[in-house]
Amino acid sequence: MQQDIAVIGIGLSRWGELWEQSLRDIFVESALHAIKDSGVDHIDSMYVGSMSPGLFNNQEHLAALLADYLGVGSIPSTRVESACASGGLAMKMACLDIMSGTSEIVLAGGVEKMTDVDTDGATLALASAADYAYEVYQGVTFPGLYAMIARMHMDKYGTTEQQLAEVAVKNHLHGSMNSMAQFPQKINVDAVLNSVVIADPLHILDCSPITDGAAAVILCSAEKARQLKLHPQIRISGLGHATDTMALHSREDITALSAVEKAGITALKMSGKKIDDIDLFEVHDCFTIAEICILEALGLFPKGKGGNAAASGKTRFDGPMPVNTSGGLKAKGHPVGATGIAQIVEIVTQLREQAGERQVKNARVGLTQNMGGSGGSCLVHILEAV
């Protein structure tokens, strides 16, 4: 990167079904935590990722609303959207703001309040991230789209429903050690396989939940971070951003997440790292099959060989390539606009060695991968402890 950027503050709201809190409440909660953690007395600008506040909450113009309720005056505030990758995009834009020299201290946040509508309303809002004319209008929802990906992966490579279930079991194990997780309960393979089928072969325990929540980080130049000296310095050394066709039928291979692969290559090249240099990963496991395909697209496993990753123990927090130590979207929750920022929060927590019983030993470099829809957009960030 042209200028070293550091994460100096992190914050999360409580995640779950937050009936008594509004969208603005949970965003301000996470932002104040991040500001307090950073030790700064002001921010110069902010970027907020949010996918569909107009559909979930009948509220647009979030940039001004949230700056007002955070009490930061007339600073430049921008809301960005890239479906479920909105948080990751907010992170990128905050980095570019600092790199341009426009701002010195920037808040990157994400928020979604998904339970202000019923299940049908949430399904409709989420479906807006798919190709409406060719997918949604034909009756396909996101569980259906990922079920197609799963079925193709199973047919091509021999992946099994039990291997999908092992991903959920592993991520719930990690979530059981995360006090902020929406579903911190351990589960077993039988529980997954015996849960209700949502879209064959995906069971409900293969799917991430509907979640209310927010996350925020404070960024500044590495030089400014050295002056503050409040935390061990965590540097953003690489970022990648790519898109793909939205409709699955337009892709040569629906099990190959092209945007993930391209964004990963870009981020690794920028950071000067290889995939083997990464100590832990937070990836977008909106469905269990998504984690498998993402690990293959990033190059952790050869194509078609990611199915056994969780069952083998390789991706556990104490394995050689820990994945989703937070519990991932599956157990931690998935307030869609906030997910990409929450991934950054987990990596920073790990690199500061503050993750408690789920702490990854000797963690120095982490990667986050946040994607929109069925892989139509993807953001990858690489962070290093200096």
3 state DSSP class of 82: strand
What is the chain's mean pLDDT, rounded? 96
Q: What confidence category does residue 14 fall into, taking pLDDT thresholds of 50, 70 and 90?
A: confident
Number of Cα atoms under 13 Å in the Cβ half of residue 142: 29
Eight-class DSSP state of 287: B
Is residue 2 scored above 70 in pLDDT? no
**For residues 276-286, average pLDDT:** 98
Question: Which tens digit of pLDDT belongs to each residue from 43-60?
Answer: 999 999 999 999 999 999
Query: What is the amino acid identity at position 306?
Result: G
Question: Which tens digit of pLDDT belongs to each residue from 208-264?
Answer: 999 999 999 999 998 899 888 888 899 999 999 999 999 999 999 999 999 999 999
Which residues are annotated as catalytic?
84, 334
As given in the structure block, the two tokens for residue 275 are 């995939």
What was the pLDDT predicted at 243? 98
Cα distance from N-terminal residue to C-terminal residue, the chain: 15
Query: What is the amino acid identity at position 17?
Result: E
3 state DSSP class of 160: coil
Angle, CA 129 vertex, CA 126 and CA 134 arms, to 5°: 110
Q: In CATH, what number does 5-118+210-234 get?
A: 3.40.47.10
Phi, psi at residue 243, to the nearest 5°?
-130, 165
Eight-class DSSP state of 84: B
* Among 158, 160, 228, 217, CA closest to 193: 160
**For residues 80-98, average pLDDT:** 98
Helix or strand (DSSP H, E) at 106: strand 105-113
3 state DSSP class of 207: strand
Is residue 386 scored above 80 in pLDDT? yes
d(CA 281, CA 352): 15
Other CB atoms within a 10 A radius of the CB of residue 36 amount to: 12
Domain ranges (residues) in the chain? 5-118+210-234, 129-205+236-385
What was the pLDDT predicted at 1? 59
Strand partners, 7: 219, 234
Indicate if 129-205+236-385 has the same CATH topology as 5-118+210-234. Answer: yes
Which of 3.10.20.30, 3.40.47.10, 3.90.230.10, 3.20.20.70 is the CATH number of 129-205+236-385? 3.40.47.10
User: pTM of this prediction?
Assistant: 0.98
What was the pLDDT predicted at 63? 97
**For residues 361-366, average pLDDT:** 98
What was the pLDDT predicted at 155? 98
Number of Cα atoms under 13 Å in the Cβ half of residue 374: 30
3 state DSSP class of 331: helix
Question: Which tens digit of pLDDT belongs to each residue from 303-331?
Answer: 999 999 999 999 999 999 999 999 999 99
pLDDT > 90 fraction of the chain, expressed in percent and rounded: 94
Question: Which tens digit of pLDDT belongs to each residue from 353-362?
Answer: 999 999 999 9
**For residues 21-29, average pLDDT:** 97
Q: What confidence category does residue 73 fall into, taking pLDDT thresholds of 50, 70 and 90?
A: confident
